[in-house]
Chain A
Amino acid sequence: MTEVLSAPLVVEFPFTRSLGPVQSAFLTGLRERTVLGVRTGDDRVLVPPVEYDPVTSAELRELVEVGATGTVTTWAWNPDPGRNQPLSTPFAWVLVRLDGADTAMLHALDAAGPDAVSTGMRVRIRWAAERVGAITDIACFEPDDGTGPPERAATAHHGEFTDPVTGIVAPARLDYVYSPGRAQTRYLAALADRKMIGERCPSCRKVYIPPRGACPTCGVATEEQVEVGPGGTITTFCIVNIKARGLDIEVPYVYAHIALDGADLALHGRIGGLPYDQVRMGMRVEPVWSDDGGFPDHYRPTGEPDAGYDTYKEMV
């Protein structure tokens, strides 16, 4: 049995999201240390506020200001904070109903330990030092020792601020350990020896490269390994004119589908070793292996006569 290959895989992207008018007022308000809610048709105050009533779907636009103090409605002690969570020391997740609101919001509560937290306890917002118009402008909640402002009812608010935020950028990074599975492990292991190993379907006899473990036509496992190439035929190609970020290849260059001899599915690769405008369908090519890693860096012409169209038309 082959060793399981693995490699780190990071998926990271900043989502840029626009805000509706209620969300914009709420997040801008947080920047200005003002907490806004929205009043529903049945006179409930939702905090955090939403654009549409979660029960009736009616459009909601009547903004109100609520307190920066509130009451814990439920809590959970987190002894092992994650790297992105609001606090780096153990804290309580809390739902807090702010004074003047009828609903609760989720956030973190900085407390000494689980014994210092209870349902019904009074808490107040600890504002972040730098605020940008985001839910994290509330750094966390902290226990209210009674020195905070008294409980208050919601009061009307115009919701207008100078320079309102109209969007958020939400970064997200997830870390994975990628493992390729049986078929691709066999393929990658052979590449290290500069061999191209495809796999044959036991039902339709087609040879797939790179193999993915299943014949997509028959839905059965491909387990017979078949060495293919190294020679192959260009079945189709395109000319790349825009430089990819981080890729050190001069444009224009040719990217092609290549039917390796003995394979029934074309794989793709870059064509080098001749001017881009001389590449043609049917051209015979062979891999040029990378110096440091076991993979074909690109393919170059072999100088053999071109293959006839009939020999590769099934793979175009």
Chain B
Amino acid sequence: MRDVAIVAFAQSRHARSTAEVSEVELLMPVLHEAFDQVELKASDIGFTCSGSSDYLAGRAFSFTMALDGVGAWPPISESHVEMDGAWALYEAWVKILTGEADTALVYSYGKSSPGDVREVLTRQLDPYYVAPLWPDPVALAALQARALIDAGHTSEPELAGVAARSRASARDNPYAQLTSVRDGGEYVVQPLRRQDCPPVGDGAAAIVLAAGDTARRLCARPAWIRGLDHRIEAHSLGVRDLTDSPSTRLAAERAGLFDAPVDTAELHAPFTSQEVVLRRALRLGDEVDVNPSGGPLAANPIMAAGLIRLGEAAARIHRGDSDRAVAHATSGPCLQQNLVAVLEGDVK
């Protein structure tokens, strides 16, 4: 199997609203920064894959407009997923593994500010039995949080601790949107308080992948993708055990997470209670640095927040702050679908 690495990562400064710029105007500087890190241009890239959802900003075919920011002429080899960019990265990784490309650009973006994101996300649910009730993501996460508390896996004070730790970590992250838990104590949907929920905001991210010697040429310390897998659970919430995440555990096994310890974990847990589920599924002990970036509780641009987890974990390897890291991305209500990547740097 070919060695494939993340060699560049860039992201926007995430904000509650970016009404002054269009999606392509939000994305383009991020793409340029990722290219600049490895001194590449669009025509050097073998495959381009993006993740976004038109529902967020209510703009049909917005991903084709966003492609203007890449420079897609002469025609490039390109694909798009209506998913978080982490799944676009999965497609690009497979493309490189097959030998059809040596490099790939992966990007994703989300502008939640034009709409009511809690209403928008109800539209991804089962259209027969669930979507007609319009249960929003906070409500569904709160059902999961209650189940965790009832099962003795966590408590409201413990969740407050996750919130405080995440926002404190985010103070060192210049791209974070939320770095404090002030005034976060009121319930949004009980038992979840404001501080347990991610900020709503706009943002974009981009990653460059490269294979083997190309990666070594482009990056002093590539973040090698040692394993990458994603798994999904039943869509009906009442069929699942919401206190566990068997899909995360299986993806982690398949990605080789349990073969050796990791020092860093970047978890796509938009709600504090979901970090509790993921820590157990991934068997992360206290020695692991969880979400040193602040995680999605500090910035949660929908469609990009999962890709950012891969980028943040890789950037720590690039900088020499981590040798083996796990990155996780999720999609759907209550951690329905999960992707796990194991990243490693060469021995220093």
Say yes or no for B104: interface residue by CB 8 A criterion.
Answer: no
Chain B residues within 8 Å of A84, by CB: 119, 122, 134
Say yes or no for B237: interface residue by CB 8 A criterion.
Answer: yes
How far apart sit A195 and B31, CA to CA, in the bound complex (Å)?
Answer: 32
Are B236 and A50 within 8 A (Cβ)? yes
- Identify which of A59-67, A73-81, A281-289 touches chain B: A73-81
Chain B residues within 8 Å of A93, by CB: 135, 139-140, 142-143, 189
- Identify which of A211-219, A251-259, A291-299 touches chain B: A211-219
Are B237 and A95 within 8 A (Cβ)? yes
Chain B: residues with Cβ within 8 Å of the partner, total of: 62
| Nearest-neighbor residue (CB-CB) of A54 within chain B | B234
Say yes or no for A28: interface residue by CB 8 A criterion.
Answer: no
Given contact pairs A219-B31, A219-B71, A76 touches B189 in the complex (Cβ within 8 A): yes
- Identify which of A151-159, A169-177, A238-246, A307-315 touches chain B: A169-177
> What's the nearest-Cβ distance from chain A to residue B249, in Å?
16
Chain A residues within 8 Å of B59, by CB: 178
> What's the nearest-Cβ distance from chain A to residue B20, in Å?
5
Say yes or no for B284: interface residue by CB 8 A criterion.
Answer: no
- Identify which of B95-103, B145-153, B255-263, B299-307 touches chain A: B145-153
Say yes or no for A136: interface residue by CB 8 A criterion.
Answer: yes
Are A77 and B189 within 8 A (Cβ)? yes
Chain A residues within 8 Å of B58, by CB: 9, 11, 174, 176, 178
> What's the nearest-Cβ distance from chain A to residue B26, in Å?
8
Given contact pairs A174-B119, A181-B20, A219-B69, A136 touches B133 in the complex (Cβ within 8 A): yes
Are B114 and A215 within 8 A (Cβ)? no
Say yes or no for B213: interface residue by CB 8 A criterion.
Answer: no
Chain B residues within 8 Å of A19, by CB: 128
Say yes or no for A290: interface residue by CB 8 A criterion.
Answer: no
Given contact pairs A76-B145, A136-B132, A179 touches B236 in the complex (Cβ within 8 A): no
Are A114 and B22 within 8 A (Cβ)? no
Annotate B22-51 by CB proximity to A: 1 below 8 A, 0 otherwise: 111100100110000000001000000000
Annotate A258-295 by CB proximity to B: 1 below 8 A, 0 otherwise: 00000000000000000000000000000000000000
How far apart sit A176 and B115, CA to CA, in the bound complex (Å)?
Answer: 4
Given contact pairs A106-B133, A174-B55, A74 touches B115 in the complex (Cβ within 8 A): no
Say yes or no for B220: interface residue by CB 8 A criterion.
Answer: no
How many A residues touch the partner, as a band? 35 or more
Are B146 and A103 within 8 A (Cβ)? no
> What's the nearest-Cβ distance from chain A to residue B208, in Å?
14
| Nearest-neighbor residue (CB-CB) of A72 within chain B | B146
Say yes or no for B1: interface residue by CB 8 A criterion.
Answer: no
Given contact pairs A9-B58, A76-B145, A93-B139, A182 touches B25 in the complex (Cβ within 8 A): yes
How far apart sit A106 and B239, CA to CA, in the bound complex (Å)?
Answer: 11
Say yes or no for B312: interface residue by CB 8 A criterion.
Answer: no
Say yes or no for A221: interface residue by CB 8 A criterion.
Answer: yes
Given contact pairs A181-B21, A215-B71, A78 touches B238 in the complex (Cβ within 8 A): no
Are B25 and A183 within 8 A (Cβ)? yes
Are A170 and B19 within 8 A (Cβ)? no
Annotate B178-190 by CB proximity to A: 1 below 8 A, 0 otherwise: 0000000001011
Are A106 and B128 within 8 A (Cβ)? no
Are A212 and B143 within 8 A (Cβ)? no
Of B65, B69, B114, B133, most A-chain CB atoms within 10 Å: B133
Say yes or no for A89: interface residue by CB 8 A criterion.
Answer: no
Say yes or no for A197: interface residue by CB 8 A criterion.
Answer: no
Are B127 and A17 within 8 A (Cβ)? yes
Are B187 and A182 within 8 A (Cβ)? no
> What's the nearest-Cβ distance from chain A to residue B140, in Å?
8
Chain A residues within 8 Å of B130, by CB: 106, 135
| Nearest-neighbor residue (CB-CB) of A217 within chain B | B73
How far apart sit A136 and B132, CA to CA, in the bound complex (Å)?
Answer: 7
Are A27 and B128 within 8 A (Cβ)? yes
Chain B residues within 8 Å of A122, by CB: none
Chain B residues within 8 Å of A170, by CB: 127, 131-132
Are B68 and A215 within 8 A (Cβ)? yes
Chain A residues within 8 Å of B190, by CB: 76-77, 79, 114
Are B128 and A103 within 8 A (Cβ)? no
Annotate B315-335 by CB proximity to A: 1 below 8 A, 0 otherwise: 000000000000000000000
Say yes or no for B67: interface residue by CB 8 A criterion.
Answer: yes
| Nearest-neighbor residue (CB-CB) of B116 within chain A | A175
Say yes or no for A166: interface residue by CB 8 A criterion.
Answer: no
How far apart sit A75 and B127, CA to CA, in the bound complex (Å)?
Answer: 21
Annotate B70-98 by CB proximity to A: 1 below 8 A, 0 otherwise: 11110000000000000000000000000
User: Knowing that A55-B234, A170-B127 are A-B contacts, what are 15 other residue pairs whose CB atoms are under 8 Å apart, sorted by A's residue number?
Assistant: A48-B129, A73-B238, A74-B144, A74-B147, A74-B242, A76-B189, A76-B191, A174-B58, A181-B23, A184-B22, A213-B22, A213-B25, A215-B68, A216-B67, A220-B71
Which residues of A line the B interface, CB within 8 A? 4, 6, 9, 11, 15, 17, 19, 23, 27, 46-48, 50, 54-55, 73-79, 82, 84-86, 93-95, 97, 103-108, 114, 119, 134-136, 168, 170, 172, 174-184, 212-221
A–B Cβ pairs within 8 angstroms, 29 of them: A9-B114, A27-B128, A47-B238, A48-B129, A48-B238, A74-B146, A76-B145, A76-B191, A84-B134, A93-B140, A93-B189, A94-B143, A106-B130, A106-B143, A168-B127, A172-B123, A174-B123, A176-B114, A176-B115, A179-B19, A182-B20, A212-B68, A213-B21, A213-B25, A213-B68, A216-B67, A216-B68, A219-B31, A220-B28
What 3 A-B pairs have minimum CB-CB distances, sorted nearest first?
A219-B71, A181-B22, A76-B142
Which residues of B line the A interface, CB within 8 A? 19-25, 28, 31-32, 42, 55, 57-59, 65, 67-73, 114-116, 118-120, 122-123, 127-136, 139-140, 142-147, 150, 187, 189-192, 234-239, 242
